[in-house]
Every structure is written in C-alpha cells, then in structure tokens.
Amino acid sequence: MKLKQRFQPFLQAIPKLLLFQFVSTVILTLVTWGISLLGSLLLGLSGKAAVTSGDLSFLFTRWQGYVMIILLLAMVTIYVAVELNALIIFCNKTLDGEKVSVWQCIKEGFIGLKKFLSLRGVVVILYAVVLAPIFGLGFSISLTQNFYIPKFIMSVIEATPLFMTAYIIVGVFLTVVAFVYCFILHGTLLNDMTMKEASVHARKLFVKNWKNLLVELLIFFLLAVLTAVVVIGVCGVLPLLIVQAIPMGESVKAFFTIFFSVVIILLCAIAAYSYVSLLMIKLTSLYKKYTSEGEEWSYQPQEKKRHPVVITVVALLLVASIGFSVYAVGHFDELFKTQVDGNIVAHRAAGVEAPENTVKGIDVAYQYGALGSEIDIQRTSDGYYVVNHDADFERVAGVAKAPEEMTLAEVKELRVDGEPVPTLEEMLDASKDKVILFVELKGATADNQMADDAVRIIKEKGMQDQAVLISLKMDILEYIEEKYPEMQTGYLAFVSLGYIEETPFDYLALEEEISTDETIESVHQKGKKIIVWTVNDEEDIEHFMLSDADAIITDSVKLSGEVKERLSNRSTSEIIFQQALRLVQ
C-alpha cells in the first residue's frame, strides 16, 4: 500500500505533465524562433553573419549588439517563467487535485517574475541559467542546458592541480547550495514570499528535514532509474537481443533491428523528457509535506480517467515506427552512414605521438595517415616565425620567455623533448606533399604583419594548396580573405550566435559542443569544410567520425586511426546500433 501511495502521484501526473511540456515546448519554440529571427535581422543590419568567440566585443560596441543582449535577456526571462515558475505552479495544483489549466499556470508563472526583481532574484536566475547547467546541479532551463566549460579549457583545469582543486571546491559549494535552497522558488510562488523570506524559509526547511530530503530524493532517483531500465529493457533492449540471436534473413533482421532501436530511442526520449517534471512533482510534494502545519499533508488522489489522447499518441508512434522501419530497410544507404570518410588532423603536429610542434611530429603524423597537421606560429623579437603553442616556452622547454622576447638564435638553442623548436619554413618543408599544414596565427604577435609574412613564406614554398591559415581572431582572417583571396583560411570558434556558415572562410574549425549535425549540414550547404576540435576521447572520436564533419583535430592520432578502421568494418546491425546511439546522445 505504501508503495502504491508513493507511485500514485507520479503515475496520475504523467499524462498532464506531458501535456504541459508539449504546450510549453511549442510556446518556447515559437519564442526562440521569433527572437532568433530578430537577432539575424540585427546582425544583417550590422553587416555580420554571426557573433562568435572571436568577436564577442560586438555585443558591447554596437547598438545592434545591445539590442541583441536585451533580446537574449527577454528570452531567458520567458524560459524562466514557463519552465520553472509555471511548472512549480502546475505541480502544486496537480498535487492538490485541482483542475489544471496549462495556460493559467503559464500566466501565473509570468506574474511570479516580479519576485525576481531583487539582488537575490538575479542570483537565483544566474544560478539556474548559467551555473546549474555548467555543473549539472539543480534545475535549469532548456535554453542553456548545453552550457559547458569548453573541453580545451577543462583539459587545462584537469592538468593543473590548483585549478582542479578550485573547480572541485566550487562544485561542492554549488552542490550544497542546490540542496539548501532547493525550495526557494516554492516559497516565492506558492506562499507569496519575497525572495529574501523564501531563502530564509528554504534554509530552515533544509536544516529541519535534510535527512528525510536526501533519503527521499535518493529513493526517487533509484526508482526512476530502475523503472526506466526495466521498461526500456523489456520493451526495447531484450527484444533487440533476441532478434540478433535468432537466425533470419538480412532484410528481416534489419527491419526488427531498426524498429526496436526506434522504440529504445522513443522510450529514452520520454524518460528524459519527463524526469525533470517528475522530480519537480517530488520536490513540490516534499515542500507541501514539510510546510504542513499541525497535520500531515497527503496527496489528493483524483478519479481514474482514461486518456484517449495518450492512447492515440502511443498508437500513432507505434504505426510510425513500423512505417519508418519498412522505409529504412529500402533506403538503408541513404539514411545510415555506411562509409566512414572522416579525416584526421594531428593537433600540434602529431598530438601525443611525438614532441609537440616539431618537424618530427610532421613525419609521425604522415606515418599514421593523417590528412594534416595543425601548428602554432609566433613571431620572435627579430621578426622570424617559430612554432610554439603557449605564451612562453616554460612548459615545453623550461624557459619562461615568450617568443617575442627572444631572437631566433636564442629560440634555436631550446629543445622540446630533445627536438629543436622549428621555424614556419622548416615545418612547410617537412609537410610538403605529405600532409596539409594548418597554420594557426597565435599569441600576442598575431596581427596583420604576421598574416602578410605567413602568406609570403607559404607562397615562396609554393604551398598555397597545401597550407591553411587559421586563427581565433576573426579580424586577421578577414584581412587575409580581402587581401589574399587565393589563400585558404580557417576560423576557430567555440561560441557562435547567428549563421556562422555565412562567414567568408574556407574552413570552420568548431569546438566539439557546437559542432552539431545541423551546423555541419549548414556549413556544407555553403560549400565550406568543417573541422571539429579537439577530439581526444574514443567515444567522441567515434561520434564525429560517424558525423559528416570533414575532419577532426586530435591529440590521439593513433587511436583515431584505429577507431576509423574499426568503424569501416561494421556489420549492418552495428551500423544501426551506432546511429541509434548518436540519436539518443
């Protein structure tokens, strides 16, 4: 009986929650589309195609940028009103057994925004919009759920004990904050408290009930995971394993493999889609329990109802899954990536396979079959160009001097794991007719003079077709495109707003998290090539090898080659599994 009482609120709430999420998703999709359209018009008026990590100053130096900031803040506000405020109000009404109107809850959610007009309110929004998604703690909005610390920055944090310690301390602190103040929005929205009153109230509730709260949330999490595993296992994974074990024709096996893979994808989507809302139901029920005065709060069960809409939707999904599976068997090569064409560009010459940014690295990258090598050039005090990634040579050669503080002769005395620091000319000679050289204009000396000199040196070597000039600095690349249109250019970015594919460069080298399938397709439609950086983990290498990206920049050159070879020898079932896994991710 207790188990039934524990599950009943959630089981009865699921159809309503799915309806709420559907309506809210439609509203927010339209809002996002409208504001994105306005943002694109503003960018067009300013003569820009996109705002990226290389020119974020635009947002603070042009009137169009200020208007875009206002639009972004407006969009964040709308998401908070719908996905946080309205959801809490919706859960409260559902638990009280009231007749719930989605539109009324959304209206009350917007009214509740006035509670955030204080310093504490701004901090709460900042936590929910930025910190929660970055650290994966607490509730956030879907607009920013993919906020992240870029992997190239995270790798530096992980490699530096001081930074890693600070990161862990911040993570622990934010975890504690997430639990201590988990009821702050409930107090403001359900009990009409000010943000200050709600923060004090939430803290008192936590201190009084923290043991029960942690136990209840742990039980909820375990039951949610167990339920999802059982349902997905019984309805999708187990039948899929049976299909693979039973001898049958290739087309029939492909049909059932695709069908049950689709079932798994749908069930995973429903589980992920409903988990946050069910967790909010749980938190709301605990809030009502902890704040009940003198009497124990209990869920008000509603009359059992049939849900024809839900049944109809399930039936339509089933029919659509069968139809898609039949179609997919007949158009397999069109729908599934059967050929792996992804190329490998070795980061800093050869990644971890050789001393970084050295001539030896070029030779090693070529031996491993890399398409190209990426290197970093900086100018010396006497005007030569040497290859080094960091601001100085301390990490690689033990000398805490920047290239611009040294002459070429002084740099030539340094050694990187026994290898000399090369010049741009030496790297071009080593790569000629072997690999494409992606030359990043790097550091404090990256300017128009560096661009002019790099172009001159590349032309002197006759390697215009075997070298690509890349940079994080958009203005330098724009200068090259205008003055030297015959040269190949590549723009490095890890943040992008707008239509980055409209930028005038031949290559777009994008950080992993913004290299979505949609972005890759958009870039290709404009006749440009896309490279993803810096892809080092085996799972990530596999993911982007199976995408339509033209290449990956990686430190794991040998591993990338092994992954590519393995993917090129997959069975039909493996091809389907991996495509389904990409969709789930």
For the chain, domain boundaries:
2-293+305-333, 343-584
pLDDT higher at 544 or 311: 544
- Concatenating the DSSP letter of every residue in 465-519 gives TSEEEEES-HHHHHHHHHH-TTSEEEEEES-EEE-GGGSS-SEEEEEGGG--HHH
Q: Taking residues 224-231, what's their average pLDDT?
A: 92
Q: Taking residues 426-439, what's their average pLDDT?
A: 97
Q: Look at residue 51 and tell me whether its pLDDT is greater than 90.
A: no
Q: What pLDDT is attached to residue 294?
A: 46
Q: Look at residue 56 and tell me whether its pLDDT is greater than 90.
A: no
Q: What digits encode the pLDDT tens for the residues 443-456?
A: 999 999 999 999 99
Establish how many alpha carbons lie within 13 A of residue 118's alpha carbon, considering only the half-sphere containing its beta carbon: 15
Q: What pLDDT is attached to residue 310?
A: 67
Q: What digits encode the pLDDT tens for the residues 112-134?
A: 999 999 999 999 999 999 888 88
Residue 300 pLDDT grade (very low, low, confident, very high; cuts 50, 70, 90): low
Pairing of the two strands 488-493 and 467-471 = parallel
Whole-angstrom Cα distance, residue 509 to residue 473?
Answer: 12
Q: What pLDDT is attached to residue 1?
A: 44
Which phi and psi angles does 493 have, rounded to 5°? -145, 150
Q: Look at residue 299 and tell me whether its pLDDT is greater than 60.
A: no
Reported in sequence order, the residue ranges of 320-371 that DSSP labels E, i.e. its strands, are 343-346
Q: What pLDDT is attached to residue 50?
A: 86
Residue 10 pLDDT grade (very low, low, confident, very high; cuts 50, 70, 90): low
Reported in sequence order, the residue ranges of 57-129 that DSSP labels E, i.e. its strands, are none
CATH class of 343-584: alpha beta
Identity of the residue numbered 463: M
Q: Taking residues 95-116, what's their average pLDDT?
A: 90
Element (H, E) at 533: strand 529-533
Q: What digits encode the pLDDT tens for the residues 123-170?
A: 999 999 988 888 877 778 888 887 888 877 888 898 889 999 999 999
pLDDT higher at 451 or 250: 451
Contacts of 30-37 spanning 24+ positions with Cβ under 8 A:
31/75, 31/78, 32/75, 32/143, 35/71, 35/72, 35/74, 35/75
Q: Taking residues 300-317, what's their average pLDDT?
A: 68
Q: Taking residues 462-470, what's their average pLDDT?
A: 96
What percentage of the chain has pLDDT greater than the value 70? 94
Q: What pLDDT is attached to residue 307?
A: 58
In angstroms, how far is CA 107 from the centroid of its own chain? 31
Whole-angstrom Cα distance, residue 344 to residue 436?
Answer: 11
Q: Taking residues 247-266, what's their average pLDDT?
A: 90
Q: What pLDDT is attached to residue 401?
A: 96
Q: What is the mean pLDDT of the chain?
A: 90
pTM of this structure: 0.84
Q: Look at residue 19 and tell me whether its pLDDT is greater than 90.
A: no
Q: What pLDDT is attached to residue 559?
A: 96
What percentage of the chain has pLDDT greater than the value 90? 65
Q: What pLDDT is attached to residue 67?
A: 94
For residue 105, give Cα distances in angstroms to 18, 20, 28, 332. Answer: 14, 9, 15, 45
Q: Taking residues 481-496, what's their average pLDDT?
A: 94
Whole-angstrom Cα distance, residue 69 to residue 218?
Answer: 39
Among 17-26, 27-36, 297-306, 319-328, which is the least confidently predicted range? 297-306
Q: Look at residue 100 and tell me whether its pLDDT is greater than 50.
A: yes
- CA nearest neighbour of 508 among 524, 526, 489, 530: 530
Q: Look at residue 234 and tell me whether its pLDDT is greater than 90.
A: yes
Residue 573 pLDDT grade (very low, low, confident, very high; cuts 50, 70, 90): confident
Q: What pLDDT is attached to residue 2?
A: 55
Q: Which single residue is written with the structure tokens 């009103």?
A: 81
Q: What pLDDT is attached to residue 16?
A: 79
Q: Look at residue 237 and tell me whether its pLDDT is greater than 70.
A: yes
- Is residue 306 packed enough to be buried (19+ CB in 10 Å), middle (13-18) or exposed (0-12)? exposed
Q: What pLDDT is attached to residue 303?
A: 54
Q: Taking residues 515-520, what's their average pLDDT?
A: 92
- CA nearest neighbour of 560 among 374, 346, 337, 336: 346
